[in-house]
Structure 1
Amino acid sequence: MLQWVLTTWTDDECKLIMENCYKALPAGGKLIACEPVLPDDSNESQRTRALLEGDIFVMTIYRAKGKHRTEQEFKQLGLSAGFPHLRAFYVDYFHTLLEFQK
Structure 2
Amino acid sequence: DDDGDGIPDYLEVDSDKDGIPDYLEDTDGDGVPDYLDDDVDGDGVPNDQDDDDDGDGIPDHLDVDTDGDGVPDYLDDDIDGDGIPNNVDDDDDGDGDDGDD
Q: Same fold (TM over 0.5)?
A: no
Relative to its length, the structure with more strand (as a share) is: 1
TM range (shorter): under 0.3
Point out which structure has higher relative CO (alpha carbons under 8 A, 6+ apart). 1
What is the TM-score with the length of structure 2 in the denominator?
A: 0.24
- For the pair shown, the structure with the greater C-alpha radius of gyration is 2
Relative to its length, the structure with more helix (as a share) is: 1
What is the TM-score with the length of structure 1 in the denominator?
A: 0.24
